[in-house]
Amino acid sequence: MRARTLILFLVAILLAGGTAMLVRSWLAQQRTVEAQAAPMPPSPPQKFVLVAHSAIPRGQILKPTDLEWQVWHDGGINHAYIQKGTKTIEDFAGWVARDPFAPGDPITEGKIVQ
């Protein structure tokens, strides 16, 4: 090999290596910028549903301590469920359970009577 060919070969290898390092650095920087720029999706508003705090047998007169508000996923809210903001727990004091409730069961006005 002649000296000129060897020098050109070494320069080509150095340029290829330098280009690879620059591209690798630039790609890492772009990933960081993209990760920082991606906005977090807004969390859905939490909905609260009135549920039985403990087991409630049929015919029991309700007390405020028998009921509590529980976070409910938005997709599973039945229109009959009592949601926070429409009434308070104290509004149901003295009502009677028409059906038994297990702890965490949602309360509906159809399952209790005044």
Secondary structure of the chain in the HEC alphabet?
CCHHHHHHHHHHHHHHHHHHHHHHHHHHHHHHHHHHHCCCCCCCCCEEEEEECCCECCCCECCHHHEEEEEECHHHCCCCECEECCECHHHHCCCEECCCECCCCECECCCEEC
pLDDT of residue 74: 66
Do 52 and 33 have their domain in common? no
Q: How many domains does the chain fold into?
A: 2
Do 33 and 68 have their domain in common? no
Q: Which residue has the higher pLDDT, 37 or 100?
A: 100
Tell me if the pTM is above 0.85. no
Q: Which residue has the higher pLDDT, 10 or 114?
A: 10
pLDDT of residue 113: 84
Do 52 and 108 have their domain in common? yes
Do 67 and 109 have their domain in common? yes
Do 60 and 29 have their domain in common? no
pLDDT of residue 62: 86
Do 22 and 58 have their domain in common? no
**Phi, psi for 71 (deg, rounded to 5):** -65, 135
pLDDT of residue 52: 86
Task: Please give the residue range of the domain that contains residue 11.
Answer: 1-38
Question: Measured between alpha carbons, how far is 20 from 34 in angstroms, rounded to an integer?
Answer: 21
Do 60 and 32 have their domain in common? no
Q: Who's near 97: CB < 8 A, 6+ residues apart?
A: 56, 57, 58, 59, 60, 62, 111, 112
Q: Which residue has the higher pLDDT, 41 or 5?
A: 5
Do 88 and 106 have their domain in common? yes
Question: What are 56-100's pLDDT values in tens digits?
Answer: 888 888 888 888 888 877 666 778 888 888 888 888 888 888 888
Mean pLDDT of 17-44: 83
Average pLDDT of the chain, as a whole number: 84
